[in-house]
Amino acid sequence: MEVARHWRETPERYRMEAGKCSKCGKIAFPGRMICPECGSTEFTKHTLSGKGKIVTYTIIRTAPDGFEDLVPYAVGIIELDDGIKILAQITDCNPEELKTGDRVVAKFRRINEDGKTGMIYYAYKFVPDVGI
């Protein structure tokens, strides 16, 4: 991953900041230049709730570079209470016990690192919403 790209995406990755169309209210995450619903170019900042439910998921058993030590781990599509769907890793769980429809909540986690001497990348992941 590029350090500069990660840094540019800090508002989305660290704080789940989305764009809300000032004209039709459509929420875009990540933010867009033009609203896909109405074509407006006016957006206000909208911080996502970070709460939602699992729409679907898969369990990764053969991981790409940098994720080998995490297997088996789940990656899923989460439908947030804000009405949008996002793709994210689901952690702090036994992936075999996950079910579609389970409530999940976003937490701040490490998502990768450039080896042992490079940059550490942080962003949101989701965990089962058990109130802890």
Partner 1 sequence: MVGIVGYGTQIPRYRIKIEEIAKVWGADAASFKRGLNLNEKSVPCPDEDCATLAVNAARNAMSRAGINPQEIGALYVGSESHPYAVKPTGATVSEALGACPYVHTADFEFACKAGTEAMFVALNLVKSGAVKYAVGIGSDTSQGSPGDALEYSASAGAAAYVMGAENLVAELIDTHCFMTDTPDFWRREHANYPEHGGRFTGEPSYMKHVTGAVNAILEKTKMKPEDFDYMIFHQPNGKFPVQMALKLGFKEPQFRYGLLTPTLGNTYSGSSPLGLAATLDEAKPNQLILLVSYGSGAGSDAFIFKTTERLLKVRDMAPRVRKQLDEHKMYLEYGQYAKFRHKIVKPE
Question: Which parts of this chain interact with partner 1 (CB under 8 A)?
Answer: 10, 14-15, 47, 69-70, 91-92, 94, 107-111, 115-116, 120, 122, 125, 127-128, 130-132
The smaller minimum CB distance to partner 1, of residues 35 and 46, is found at 46
What is the strand order of the sheet 27-28 is part of? Answer: 27-28, 17-21, 43-47
Strands 51-60 and 103-113: antiparallel
**Smallest distance from partner 1 to CB 36, Å:** 26
Strands 27-28 and 43-47: unpaired
Contact 64, 101 (CB under 8 A): no
Which stretches does DSSP call E strand in the chain? 17-21, 27-28, 43-47, 51-60, 73-80, 85-90, 103-113, 120-128
The smaller minimum CB distance to partner 1, of residues 75 and 108, is found at 108
The smaller minimum CB distance to partner 1, of residues 86 and 91, is found at 91
The smaller minimum CB distance to partner 1, of residues 35 and 52, is found at 52
